Amino acid sequence: MTTPTPAVQAAADIAAWMNALGLDVHQFAARTAALWPDRPSPLTIAPSDIARLESLAKEFLESHTFVVGAGVIFSTEAIKSSEGGLEWWIRRQDSVEKLEFDLTPGGERFYDYQNMPFFAAANRTGEQTAWGPYVDYLGLDEYILTHSAPILLKGKFAGVAGCDIRIRKLEEIFMPALRAIPGDAALLNGSGRVVVGNSGAYLVGERIRSTPKDKVLIPIEVPHLGFSLLSSR
């Protein structure tokens, strides 16, 4: 039996972790959809609905200690609201609080979430998405990654359920595997941007436009996300 190289092993370990998270995010989306099994569309989101969404989000945060934010975002076509619906909770030091967003078009800090990649890609493809690293100025003011999965009501896209993870937390999780790789290595997202690197050679957010001659790209086997590991040959 051939022993995998440190890079191949790191790619497998990262894929296993991401796939486990993906299953949980999909379950989060399914549990959200189950709140309205027979309600006519478009939905009216009542205060009691928000309370149940808060319960689901807090449960997700409690069971995933590496997650800093979680919640549900609705399509404007799916609910009776011209401003859409964004129900998101964030973990602070000793509490969980709801984030407030300006959803009024033309507002000074209007958050056009329907055109954000983690929402638009899920709507377009009907599959899970991961967007980041990006600086979330509305909530955390630091690099994060958002993982989302589509919510389907009667087979139609109604929004996404998802979570935010600080990149520095992902560094803690992935660094042991990455540091086992001889030489410089980095986890890249589907756009070729560095998510986590094992040295100062690759900085978070840096785009790798072409693979260096002394490097190879190892796919991270997670459906629809397009992550890869840049490593020495």
Structure confidence by residue, pLDDT tens digits, 108-155: 888 888 899 999 999 999 999 999 999 986 566 799 999 999 999 989
Q: Could you say which of 3.40.50.300, 3.30.450.20, 3.20.20.70, 3.40.30.10 is the CATH number of the domain covering 13-165?
A: 3.30.450.20
Q: What is the pLDDT of residue 184?
A: 95
Task: Look at residues 148, 79, 152 and name the one whose alpha carbon lies nearest to residue 119.
Answer: 148
HSE-CB for 201 with a 13 A CA cutoff: 13
Main-chain phi, psi angles of 133, to 5 degrees: -80, 140
Q: Which residue has the tokens 């690293």?
A: 133
H or E element that contains 25: helix 6-33
User: Quick check: 1 pLDDT over 80?
Assistant: no
Question: What's at 85, amino acid-wise?
Answer: G
Question: What's at 82, amino acid-wise?
Answer: S
Tokens of 19: 């796939």
Tokens of 71: 């919640």
The residues, ordered by sequence, that sit 6+ positions from 30 with a Cβ below 8 Å of its Cβ are: none
Task: Look at residues 179, 149, 152, 164 and name the one whose alpha carbon lies nearest to residue 70.
Answer: 164
User: Quick check: 199 pLDDT over 90?
Assistant: yes
Cβ pair 88, 69 in contact under 8 A:
yes
Q: How far apart are CA 29 and CA 25, in angstroms?
A: 6
For the full predicted model, state whether its pTM sits above 0.85: yes
pLDDT digits (tens, 9 = 90+) for 2-18: 778 999 999 999 999 99
Domain ranges of the chain: 13-165, 169-232
Mean pLDDT of 181-205: 96
Cβ pair 119, 84 in contact under 8 A:
no
Task: Look at residues 189, 97, 84 and name the one whose alpha carbon lies nearest to residue 145.
Answer: 189
Q: Cα(first)–Cα(last) distance of the chain, in Å?
A: 21
DSSP 54-68: HHHHHHHHHH-TT--
Cβ pair 13, 19 in contact under 8 A:
no
Q: What is the pLDDT of residue 84?
A: 66
pLDDT digits (tens, 9 = 90+) for 171-184: 999 999 999 999 99
Task: Look at residues 175, 208, 178 and name the one whose alpha carbon lies nearest to residue 190.
Answer: 208
pLDDT digits (tens, 9 = 90+) for 8-46: 999 999 999 999 999 999 999 999 999 988 888 888 888
